[in-house]
Amino acid sequence: MSAVLPPFDGPEETFDEPRLLQLGPAADEPCLRADAARNRARLLDAAARLIAEHGVGAVTMEAVAAAADVGKGTVFRRFGDRTGLLMALLDHSERKFQAAFLGGPPPLGPGAPPVERLRAFGTAMLRRTQDELDLQLAAEPGAQRRFLVPVRRLHHGHVALLLREAAPDADVELLAHTLLGHLDPVLIHHLTRQCDLPLARLEAAWCDLVDRVTKA
């Protein structure tokens, strides 16, 4: 997702259980003391609330400092500038999402039937994308890299794995792309902001699409 992520060269089709990705350069987030890690998460959560309530334009270093009740210098020391803050926010959000669908409680995480996990995955991604839509749109990679960035490949691999369990006779590689197209931030922007469709309708359509594809 993050614009700084490099292309990932290699075969697209893989059905091993996906693993949590370490996003961004390793130097971006060294091992932090427990209190420093909590403070960083607190700042990112404050930035996420600002985006959800007021849009990405409301995210300034000063606004985040006020929302987290810390000094402005703390935000600058942690993230450098606004761009660094926004990229860290995307990485923070993606890590939490990955942890939820790879190892969290069912039905999003392991332990539920594959069709239920697919429904939960799309619903969770739709809600997450709506909450941070402007941020995701700003970080969309170009056409040459769109399907090669590691995060997108991880999402594709996860959906393909669940599809293989739910519909073993299907072309799961292509069907995974078809399903993920419903979750594309550009499409969600068009449907929710330009067509004024409620998110609940997109969620219902996702579940209907999953059921039809898997013959659930």
The answer to whether position 21 is within a domain reads no
- Residue 160 lies in domain: 104-216
Query: Which residues 6+ apart lie within 8 Å of 181 measured at CB?
Result: 187
Residues 82 and 108 reside in one and the same domain = no
Residues 171-182, buried b or exposed e (16+ Cβ, 10 A)?
Answer: ebbebbeebbeb
The total of structural domains in the chain comes to: 2
Residues 138 and 73 reside in one and the same domain = no
The answer to whether position 153 is within a domain reads yes
Residues 138 and 191 reside in one and the same domain = yes
Residues 120 and 60 reside in one and the same domain = no
Q: What is the pLDDT of residues 135-148, one digit of tens each?
A: 888 888 888 888 99
Residues 44 and 137 reside in one and the same domain = no
The answer to whether position 166 is within a domain reads yes
Query: What pLDDT was estimated at residue 106?
Result: 98
The answer to whether position 8 is within a domain reads no
Judge if pTM exceeds 0.85: no
Each residue's pLDDT, cut to its tens digit, for the chain (216 residues) gives 433 333 334 444 444 556 655 454 434 454 557 777 888 888 998 998 888 788 888 889 999 999 999 889 999 999 998 888 888 888 988 999 999 999 999 999 999 999 999 999 999 999 999 988 988 888 888 888 889 989 999 999 999 999 999 999 999 999 999 999 999 999 999 999 999 999 999 999 999 999 999 997
The answer to whether position 170 is within a domain reads yes
Query: What pLDDT was estimated at residue 62?
Result: 94
Q: Is 98 helix (H, G, I), strand (E, B) or coil?
A: helix
Residues 137 and 204 reside in one and the same domain = yes
Residues 137 and 69 reside in one and the same domain = no
The answer to whether position 80 is within a domain reads yes
The answer to whether position 17 is within a domain reads no
DSSP 198: -
